[in-house]
Structure 1
Amino acid sequence: MKTTILLFFYALSFTAFSQTDGVGIGTTQPRAKLEVAGDARLSEGISIGIIDNLEDNDTSTFLIQEQSNKIKTLDVSNPTGAALGYIQVYEIYNPNEDWVLDFDTRVNANDFVLNAISASYDRELDMGFNSTIPYYSAFISNGTWHITADFPEANNRNPAELGTWTVTCLIYSKDLSKQFGRVEIPMAGNTTGAAANPIVD
Structure 2
Amino acid sequence: MKSYHAPAAILLILGLIANSSAWSQVGINTTNPRASLEVAGSMSISNSVEIGDYSGLNDADASTFLIQETNNSIKSLDVSNPTGVALAYIQEYVIEDPNLDWVKDFDTGIDAVDYVVIVTSASFNQELDLTNSAGAADNASIPFSSAFIKNGTWHLVADYPQAANIDETAMGIWTISTLIFSNDVSKQYGTIGVPMSGNSTGSAVSPIIN
Preserved contact between residue 21 and residue 32 of structure 1 (Cα < 8 Å): no
Match of 1:152 in 2: 161
* 1:107-138 Cα shifts (integer Å, max 9, x gaps): 11111111011101000112132422111110
Match of 1:11 in 2: 8
Preserved contact between residue 23 and residue 34 of structure 1 (Cα < 8 Å): yes
Offset, 1:179: 0.8
Match of 1:3 in 2: none
Q: Does 1:101 align with 2:98?
A: no
In structure 2, which of residues 61, 64, 68 is the aligned counterpart of residue 61 of structure 1? 64
Amino acid at match of 1:97: L
Q: What RMSD in Å do the two structures reach over aligned CA positions?
A: 2.4
Match of 2:189 in 1: 180
Q: Does 1:161 align with 2:170?
A: yes
* 1:63-101 Cα shifts (integer Å, max 9, x gaps): 222344332222222211211111111111111111111
Structure 2 residues not aligned, in runs of 5+ = 1-5, 132-136
3-state SS of paired residue (1:175): helix
* 1:128-172 Cα shifts (integer Å, max 9, x gaps): 324221111101112211111111222111111001101111111
Overall identity of the aligned pairs, in %? 52
- Matched length: 191
Distance in 2, Cα, partners of 1:106 & 1:165: 18
The more displaced of 112-121 and 41-50 is: 41-50
- Report 1:1-201 matches (<5 A): 10-11=7-8, 22-27=25-30, 30-128=33-131, 129=137, 130-201=139-210
Please identify which structure carries the higher helix content. Answer: 2
Distance in 1, Cα, partners of 2:150 & 2:73: 31
After superposition, the Cα gap between the structure-2 partners of 1:26 and 1:124, relative to the gap in structure 1 and judged at 3 Å, is same
3-state SS of paired residue (2:8): coil
Greater gyration radius: 2
TM-score (norm 2): 0.79
| Stretches of 4+ aligned residues off by more than 6 angstroms | 15-19
Distance in 1, Cα, partners of 2:201 & 2:185: 33
After superposition, the Cα gap between the structure-2 partners of 1:131 and 1:179, relative to the gap in structure 1 and judged at 3 Å, is same
